[in-house]
Amino acid sequence: MEGIVVRNTGSWFTVKNSEGKLIDCKIKGNFRIKGIRSTTPIAVGDRVKYSHADDGSAWIFDIFDRKNYIIRRSSNLSKYSHILAANIDLVGLVVTVNYPETYTIFIDRFLATSEAYQVPACLIINKLDRYDEDELEYARGLKFLYETIGYPVFLVSALEKESLKELKVFLKDKITLIAGNSGVGKSTIINRLIPHLNLRVREISEYHNRGMHTTTFSEMYDMPEGGAIIDTPGIKGFGTIDMDVYEVGHFFKEIFEFSKKCRFNNCTHIHEPGCAVLEALENNYISQSRYKSYLSILEDDMDEKYR
């Protein structure tokens, strides 16, 4: 029998079959996917084969080839990856200027990973209703920066249904992974996009200005208008994995474009003469924040450590 994994609790996987029935499964035997060292070999979005045992339990014994997947480095096991989702059409990164603050280095690491795994990405800047004028100006600045680079950006307030209209149309008929730091409002946005879902939400810690986990495992929810959303637990940091020093620039769209004019094909864009990227940086065609994020990923690879 075949189906798609719609929930992953770590030890159990819920599979939805072609009839829409949900079956709780475990992994059969020493199940591993060749070439991927992951904390778990199966993710939400995977298409799998399963069978029932005589005692009524169900076991996943095979997995179909993936269209794509997106991973991050496991924070506890630096040599291993954590697969966020598989077979997706889009990743939507929810960020906030404040309450809590999402740092651009986190945004850029996430976007670079989406580029590396060839998954289209968009940014969803949430909590507009809470910002003062300076914070609103910064949010608009982020929108301008990332739209100029080539990413769709949505300015929304999850508490104002009207502000989500454009996003709702954009997500129609797509399987979208929704990710972000804890406290940025992922669950509230998903509740607005899928009425009557009633995902649990919590206020952020006013003392630490950080979010607290409400989603504890990944799960896929169907959208009424078509498509689906995959909700994931909040991410504190985003460690990249398997990025070669000479390829990191390929995953920053604007750096890649300027790198075509560099004197050397193996330019790292740090100190080489005739580097078109450094020239573009000096002339403000590449933002300082993006370049800083680029350097941080290079340091990951050079130092072989999670940051």
Q: Would you kindly state where each structural domain of the chain is located, as residue ranges?
A: 2-63, 69-231, 248-303
Comparing 143 with 299, which gets the higher pLDDT? Answer: 143
Indicate the pLDDT class of residue 46, thresholds 50, 70 and 90. very high
- DSSP label of 144: H
User: Is 249's pLDDT higher than 70?
Assistant: yes
- Helices in 172-287 by DSSP H: which ranges? 186-193, 253-259, 276-282
Indicate the pLDDT class of residue 212, thresholds 50, 70 and 90. very low
Span 248-303 CATH architecture: Orthogonal Bundle (1.10)
Comparing 244 with 259, which gets the higher pLDDT? Answer: 259
Q: Are 12 and 57 a contacting pair, CB within 8 Å?
A: no
Three-class SS of residue 205? strand
69-231: what CATH class?
Answer: alpha beta
User: Is 217's pLDDT higher than 90?
Assistant: no
What's the pTM? 0.88
Q: Are 252 and 259 a contacting pair, CB within 8 Å?
A: no
Indicate the pLDDT class of residue 306, thresholds 50, 70 and 90. very low
User: Is 240's pLDDT higher than 70?
Assistant: no
User: Is 156's pLDDT higher than 90?
Assistant: yes
Indicate the pLDDT class of residue 81, thresholds 50, 70 and 90. confident
- Mean pLDDT score, 88-94: 97
Comparing 280 with 56, which gets the higher pLDDT? Answer: 280
2-63: what CATH class?
Answer: mainly beta
Residue 295 phi, psi (nearest 5)? -65, -35
Residue 154 pairs in a beta bridge with 124
List the one residue out of 52, 45, 66 whose CA is nearest residue 24: 52
Indicate the pLDDT class of residue 235, thresholds 50, 70 and 90. confident
pLDDT for the residue numbered 28: 76
pLDDT for the residue numbered 78: 54
Percent share of the chain, pLDDT over 90:
72
Which whole-number Å values give the CA distances from 270 to 93, 116, 126, 281, in the listed order?
A: 28, 21, 34, 11
- DSSP label of 245: T
pLDDT for the residue numbered 79: 56
Indicate the pLDDT class of residue 30, thresholds 50, 70 and 90. low
pLDDT averaged over every residue in the chain: 87
pLDDT for the residue numbered 224: 93
For the segment 118-144, what is each residue's pLDDT rounded down to a tens digit? 999 999 999 999 999 999 999 999 999
List the one residue out of 217, 157, 226 whose CA is nearest residue 192: 157
Cα–Cα distance for residue pair 98/135, rounded to 1 Å: 8
